[in-house]
Amino acid sequence: MKLLAAEQKIARTDAAARQIMSAETTARERKTARLRQLRLEKEEAERDAAAKSPAPARRTRKQAAKGNSEARQ
């Protein structure tokens, strides 16, 4: 069965639209994977840095009070 001119145009438009949507989907998925990988690498680097650096020493209340009274004078 031969398609009419209008049906051929519809078929071409449909094929073009599907191709564009497929390309956009592929590009979006590729970008998402790339960004996810970068985020995971960044989080891992932050965890490594946090594990390597010691936690800052906490000041006791006496030290904090002493520092505040010296600042007032």
Which tops the pLDDT comparison, 28 or 66? 28
- Give the integer Cα–Cα distance in Å for 21 and 50: 43
CA dihedral 37, 43, 44, 49 (to 10 degrees): 150
- Give the integer Cα–Cα distance in Å for 46 and 51: 9
Do the Cβ atoms of 4 and 12 come closer than 8 Å?
no
Report the pLDDT value the prediction gives residue 64, as an integer from 0 to 100.
66
Q: Is the pLDDT of residue 1 over 70?
A: no
For 8-59, what is each residue's pLDDT tens digit?
A: 999 999 999 999 999 999 999 999 999 999 999 999 999 999 888 877 777 7
Report the pLDDT value the prediction gives residue 31, as an integer from 0 to 100.
98
Report the pLDDT value the prediction gives residue 2, as an integer from 0 to 100.
76
- Give the integer Cα–Cα distance in Å for 62 and 69: 10
Per-residue DSSP letter, 1: -
